[in-house]
Chains A and B, each alone.
Chain A
Amino acid sequence: MEFIQTAVAWFLGLGSTVIVPIVLILLGLIFRVGWQKAVRGGVTVGVGLAGLFLVVNLIIAALQPAVGALATRLGLELALVDVNWADAGIAWGWPGVAGLVLSIIAVNLIMVFLRLTKTLWTDVWSYWHGSALAGFVWALTGSVVWGVVGGVLYLVLGSLMSDVTAKKYQEFNEMPGIGVPCGTTVQASIFAIPVVWLLERIPGLKDWDASPEGIRKRFGLIGEPAILGLVLGVIIGIAAGYNVQGILGLGMQVATMMLVLPRMVSIISEGLVPITMSIIEFMRERFPDREIYVAVDCAVLLGHPAVMASSVILFPLSILLAAILPGVKMLPIASLAVVPFWAGAVVPYTKGNVVKTVIVLLLFSIPFMYFSTLTADIHTATFANMGQFTAEIEQGLQLASWDMGGDPLGFVILNIFKLFGF
């Protein structure tokens, strides 16, 4: 018994960038992708994870003092550092990820078989939302099993929301047979349904629109991550009272972060491709002649021109809103990257109307601002439990994000666990 405990402790002591490739190689072999692809995929995910944490270290070093200085100067409460998709690192790096992947596949197959859902959860990459939440629950309860339960519950609810939204996505984007059950995106659609209904009934607002092409021509540059980062960094530098050298330096650091963070996430996702392909085929073969929605990543919703047009308007508005709202402690910077995905989920409901999309999403972002603040302690504890950024965390660093720290559904699930005394 003691030997097993020592062995487990030794294995966990290897750290996520070593454990994850091993776990993924095993998963690859379970799903019969073949030795070579399993090894290549597993190692790629580990590299992406290590790269992701490198970039997050950069972000922390650059942004923590800047946001701190800005908050002090302007008398704001912004104490949290926005790491947004670093949460994908929690998702693929926490100790229960293999259990979560196998559990959601099993639960989803049973649910589709019993006709409880039409959505086949084939989008392995997007398990990350559930898996990141599972990591939070693990940090809260100290139990990997409860983590998996929380994560699976989140993903199951995602598939039910996808059932509601799938037809709309299919018609608007001309993609028959798909569904998008992923994370905060599908929640944006559910939120949009009543809000758009209401907006359609407000005289004056009903027909107000802006031309997406016009906005793209005028502000399109802001839609490019590096440029957006540069502009934000410079503005934050000025507001924080930096000198010119500091302002330009911060601008380039934030630009780097905005471009490189998603690239690192992309490396993780690349490594998952062989497993994903194999799981899609494995799951589809089980239901050859039934109407099902095959889950795909929310990126497929980004095609309409109104998506970027709405996003470039939302970027400055949501930063201002976060600065003004009392009690919000995170200035969204890295988290802005999730806004286009939300826009993609809302545009089918506003029929591409930019003004309505902006209104819906500005309202939608408010709970994210508060929930990301409220979950910062557990969010930070999760990184600490994984052995990441421990020195900085000991010195008082607190991390937050919209996606997944601010996720409303995740917030509810976390609080259900708290109700049970965790």
Chain B
Amino acid sequence: MSKLIVVACGAGINTSTIAEDLIRERMEGEGLDVEVKRVLIADIDKYIGRMDLVVCMMKIYREFDVPQLKGMPFLIGTKAEKQVLLDEIVELIKD
């Protein structure tokens, strides 16, 4: 089964779309079989057990049993900062 990355933001309207785009592009570039799903923070629960990584666009005051990354650099970071974060995601998802 393909791995699942959940990208969570407050409204599911704007901020997470940017991160979703970049992550998906990179995963395709790496040739990895990964599904990227954009959700509301309240909806993360639906993916517990199924997801392999959570990227949160903001502080969410919760913890899960899978790795959790802050996605803010996707919004405001320079190209280099985005690269670092994407590298980290690739590392985590390959494990």
Contacts and interface: CB of A to CB of B under 8 A. Distances in A.
B23 to A, nearest CB: 12
A273 B10 contact: no
Given A273-B21, A296-B75, A175 B14 contact: no
B76 A299 contact: no
A281 B77 CA distance: 8
A299 B57 contact: yes
Contact of A299 (B9, B22, B59, B79): B9
Nearest to B11: A299
A353 to B, nearest CB: 15
Contacts of A300: 9-10, 15, 57-58, 72, 75
Interface in A374-406: none
B78 interface: yes
B89 to A, nearest CB: 17
A270 B56 CA distance: 18
Interface of B (DSSP majority class): mixed
Interface residues of A, number: 38
Interface stretch (A52-60, A98-106, A301-309, A357-365): A301-309
Contact of A273 (B18, B58, B76): B18
Contacts of B79: 281
Interface of A: 122, 125-126, 173-175, 177-178, 220, 223-224, 262, 265-266, 269-270, 273-274, 276-277, 280-281, 284, 294, 296-297, 299-305, 307-308, 340-341, 344
Given A299-B15, A299-B57, A304-B61, 17 more contacts: A125-B13, A125-B14, A175-B58, A177-B76, A270-B17, A273-B21, A277-B18, A280-B75, A294-B76, A297-B13, A300-B15, A301-B58, A302-B11, A302-B58, A303-B61, A307-B10, A344-B10
18 contacts: A174-B59, A175-B58, A178-B75, A262-B11, A262-B13, A265-B13, A266-B12, A273-B18, A296-B75, A296-B76, A297-B11, A297-B13, A297-B15, A299-B57, A303-B41, A303-B61, A307-B10, A340-B11
